[in-house]
Structure 1
Amino acid sequence: MDFFKSILFALLSFFISTTLSAPAVVTTVVTVTADASTPTSSASTHESGGEEHIVIINKNAPVTPQVAEVLKRLDLDEGHSDVRHVFNNSAFQGFAASMKSHCLDLLANMSDVSMVEKAVTVTRADIARHDAPWGLQRISTSSSFAGSPQDMDYTYTYTSNNLGEGSDVYIIDTGIYTSHNVFNGRASMLWSFDNDLSDKDGHGTHVAGTAAGSILGVASNANIHGIKALDADGGGWSSNVVAAIDYVINRHDARSKHPSPQTPFSGSVISMSLATSSPVSAITAAVEAATAHGIHTIVAAGNSGTDACTSSPASSGGTHGQALTIGAIDISNAPASFSNSGPCVDLYAPGVDIVSSWIGSPNMVNVLSGTSMATPHVTGIVAVAMAGNETLARNPGLMKEWVRMVAVDVGDGVLVANNGVRGQGAAGNGKRAFSGLDASGRCRRESESTAMAAWMCNAKRSLRSLAGLLS
């Protein structure tokens, strides 16, 4: 009898335990999938192809899913050929994938997905190629000055020799020719949308030289990082730009958590000299996430001669967001005819006939015009300010206020970027950026005092023989 009691007791215990435990597991699974409007597997078979779309997960959902979970609902995974990018940082999560209507319909009914947007093309924001640098003096004086744009005898005035030391400058562009002399080993290529870390267009190298190159650049001691989102023709997809910002946020987090005396870290600034033909919500959201995360973001106004609010990432600045959107002026402080304007523009910077580094050889230079060229002037100003002021470095909102506060009002509502120095230009006590040529076309004697100044002068002289490149 005791034997039969033992068997009955064991069976009863098994029945009670399975009855109480099994439904709890099932209920948990059903609740999550129901809230997320997850379809059954028989209704979500993925069909390859379709147009590329950017998907951003709703971080405010009651239960925020992982990217892998959302992909699984579409019968996709991170390794699928249709999945181009996965965004996974502390500010936003999502992915970019080629999808047809059946996937888009499923995503539209998922309450934990905040955005589904078709990827669009973006292009670099340059206009023409001319000849002559002058921007360093313009951003470091409140005085007007005149001269031939071919004269390279300008003065760059600044208050501290740190010049951005410890600041991380991220150039989201066509890549960077890191072997150029102006970078002095401070430049590195970190990421590329196509795994090609070279700059085959030259645009990104030009922008980087103005932002942080020696001799030519504003923050000439900063760390320069190439983030390649545009191709050899200066174009690309909005998803590449979002993926680039995703990469920068993750790296910024890592740098913030693990600073060291060997690798000092003042802060991060993104420079984006690119534009779309219409506003792109995914880029706007990524920029907002970056600035909310403490990453300063400087963007080009665009070169259509229209309202900057009609393009991304330009629409993320001015009165519309925390980014700094930059228009272009010429040497006479007049806004360039090609420069976009309007309430999304914060201020203007030198953007006509700007000489900077170029691809091809370590001493190659080129002259370009565009809001692309104006943007890195302000990027450099921010990088220098980060290295000298911890409060500004931590707060993009305060930095934006400071940059606008120290800008020079040249009339007609035009604010011109300034680094906080209101000197008298060439007559002041500033540091000479480079000496240039004398009247006979030879390098001035003082430019021969350093190898860097000498090659820059010779490179300028060689521009006269680059008619094919500059045409």
Structure 2
Amino acid sequence: MPVLSRVFAVGATAAVGVSLTLAVTPAASAAPATTLAPLTVHAAAEAVPGHYIVMLKQGLAARTFGVASTARSLGIRIERQYLKVGGYSAAMNEAQLAKVRQDPSVAYVEQDSVFRADTTQTGATWGLDRIDQRALPLNSTYIYTPTGAGVKAYIIDTGIRTSHSQFTGRTAAGYTAVSDGNGTNDCNGHGTHVSGTVGGTTYGVAKAVTLVPVRVLGCDGSGSNSGVIAGIDWVAQNHSGASVANMSLGGGASTATDDAITRLTSSGVTVAVAAGNDNTDACNSSPARAASAITVGSTTNTDARSSFSNYGSCLDLFAPGSNITSSWNTSDSATNTISGTSMATPHVAGVAALYLQGNPSASPSAVTSAILGSSTAGVITNPGSGSPNKFLYSPLTSGGGTDPTPTTCATTVTGSVSSRTYAVATSFTTTNSGTITGCLTGPSSTDFDLYLQKLNGSTWSTVASSEGNTATENITYTAATGSYRFRVYAYSGSGSYTLKYSKP
């Protein structure tokens, strides 16, 4: 079976045409030729000899059990059945393979191959700080309103250390395709790190999301393509409610993997996948090339494409991936700082969870459109040939759209702000609950955004925002008692502003 690895594609995949000489009887007419399902084999370094993935034609998933039973009657050892995706993996010899390829319900057969997880290096935490703002410099804060509550994130990886303090009370039972006695427990660290970025209480984008381990890679960070598809199939069968899947892994190009992801998104699950760490075209690897997934490249803390990150037209956007600190598997409080497109991808999965909290019925295509439509354009240095120059933006607004209806505002403050920077317009404390309003105006040629933040302990958290495509912004917020402040962000242009506001 093909081996998978964390967030990174390794081997080349070649489609091999196979010809078959048919025996004919000495009769006057020959028997009609048998049509064989296509066969794809992999380069020797990535192939799992004697193991194959059999994918059924679209719409025939319900026949998986029966087709697999027929294969068993030929002496074939079935390893996994994909009841939702439609197909199975099996060990078979050349004669058995030929028989399977004659089955009219089979779309194609692909040799199993290896997938792997991403590589690592040391560094410092900064990713959360970057994704909530349009431009550098970093401002040492991560501003968020939704938390991903009510959303499930399926981590298709090396498992999760569910007892880690970053996930207390927010993990659910999952699935393992690895038969080593560890169940869904992470004996590698990669899956726990990815989970921490998706939804850790300190390191996570979506701090209240429920994390579900789907273990398809072993303690060495590698596994088979057939095992990865088994994990995808399990999610397709068992997901419930608003759901996102993170796949920080990769291998050679695999039609079976790509099709499985298409069927997973068709079932209603948004999928984020890693572009890979080979500094090459992501279209040469799977799942990076899967059209229905969100494919993520990696950046450094200077907004440059990471030197290892794959690129090209199969990418959808970039996110922080170099030197990302998150949870680790060696203890319930352990952390590690590592790099890879594996680390970039969970930032996107986390933002998808934030969006799904407020839009639980949104389709994967709607989630993808929201994320790409809100991304920041033009800030990535050297994105690579064919890559979209788009960077993840967690508030999920592009600075465009319709401004809210103006509200009643009384007290007036003035100030100025430079392009791509923030300014604190005013701070205040209210001892009464009630409505806070804010009305911002600025120069006609600018695009300013307005944020209302509440002080929680020592951290300012955004509780309301207005991010239209002009310098006129309005906020109305039903507030509890506490300390608040208004911040102004210059999305484009610089100049003076006037903020009028009211408090209870």
Q: TM-score, normalised by structure 1?
A: 0.71
Q: Which runs of 5+ in 2 are unaligned?
A: 1-31, 37-47, 382-387, 400-419, 425-450, 460-504
Residue aligned with 2:124, SS: coil
Does the alignment pair 1:306 with 2:303? no
Residue aligned with 1:363, SS: coil
RMSD: 2.8
Does the alignment pair 1:271 with 2:263? no
| Number of the residue aligned with 1:145 | 137
1:424: how far off? 5.0
| Number of the residue aligned with 1:350 | 320
Residue aligned with 1:185, SS: coil
1:187: how far off? 1.6
- The correspondence of residues 264-413 of structure 1 with structure 2, limited to 5 A, is 265=241, 267-276=242-251, 278-316=252-290, 321-390=291-360, 393-409=361-377, 410=379, 413=388
Q: Deviations 1:317-336 (Å, cap 9, x if unpaired)?
A: xxxx1210000000011000
- The correspondence of residues 129-140 of structure 1 with structure 2, limited to 5 A, is 129-140=121-132
Q: Deviations 1:302-331 (Å, cap 9, x if unpaired)?
A: 000000000100001xxxx12100000000
| Number of the residue aligned with 1:73 | 70
Change (3 A) 1:360 1:124: same
| Number of the residue aligned with 1:13 | none
Change (3 A) 1:302 1:185: same
| Number of the residue aligned with 2:144 | 158
| Number of the residue aligned with 2:499 | none
Alignment counterpart, residue 128 of structure 1, candidates 120, 123, 136? 120
Does the alignment pair 1:55 with 2:54? yes
- The correspondence of residues 221-232 of structure 1 with structure 2, limited to 5 A, is 221-232=208-219
Q: Is the 8 A contact 2:380 2:391 kept in 1?
A: no
Q: Deviations 1:111-169 (Å, cap 9, x if unpaired)?
A: 111121111000012x32213111111110112115xxxxxx82111233xx1111110
Kindly provide the amino acid, as one letter, of the partner of residue 100 in structure 2: L
Change (3 A) 1:417 1:400: same
| Number of the residue aligned with 2:447 | none
| Number of the residue aligned with 1:88 | 83
Does the alignment pair 1:187 with 2:162? no
Q: Is the 8 A contact 1:301 1:371 kept in 2?
A: yes
Change (3 A) 1:143 1:357: same
Kindly provide the amino acid, as one letter, of the partner of residue 101 in structure 1: E
Does the alignment pair 1:167 with 2:151? yes
CA distance in 1, matches of 2:155, 2:141: 25
Q: Is the 8 A contact 1:156 1:432 kept in 2?
A: no
| Number of the residue aligned with 1:461 | none
CA distance in 1, matches of 2:455, 2:89: 47
| Number of the residue aligned with 2:237 | 250
1:179: how far off? 0.6
Q: Is the 8 A contact 1:355 1:365 kept in 2?
A: yes
| Number of the residue aligned with 1:214 | 201
1:52: how far off? 1.1
Change (3 A) 1:243 1:232: same
How many positions carry a matched residue from both structures?
358
CA distance in 2, matches of 1:101, 1:251: 35
Kindly provide the amino acid, as one letter, of the partner of residue 82 in structure 2: F
- The correspondence of residues 113-124 of structure 1 with structure 2, limited to 5 A, is 113-124=106-117
Change (3 A) 1:380 1:242: same
Kindly provide the amino acid, as one letter, of the partner of residue 116 in structure 1: V
Q: Which runs of 5+ in 1 are unaligned?
A: 1-33, 39-48, 147-152, 256-264, 437-471
Instruction: Name the stretch that deviates more: 393-402 or 169-178.
Output: 393-402
CA distance in 1, matches of 2:336, 2:62: 48
CA distance in 2, matches of 1:119, 1:402: 35
Structure exhibiting the larger radius of gyration computed from Cα positions: 1
Q: Is the 8 A contact 1:155 1:425 kept in 2?
A: no
| Number of the residue aligned with 1:42 | none
Q: Is the 8 A contact 1:215 1:433 kept in 2?
A: no
Residue aligned with 1:141, SS: coil
Does the alignment pair 1:111 with 2:111? no
Q: Deviations 1:450-469 (Å, cap 9, x if unpaired)?
A: xxxxxxxxxxxxxxxxxxxx
1:108: how far off? 1.4
CA distance in 2, matches of 1:94, 1:114: 9
Change (3 A) 1:52 1:158: same
Residue aligned with 1:340, SS: coil
Between structures 1 and 2, the one with greater strand share: 2
Change (3 A) 1:250 1:210: same
1:93: how far off? 1.7
**Comparing both chains, which one has the higher relative contact order based on Cα–Cα distances under 8 Å and sequence gaps of 6 or more?**
1
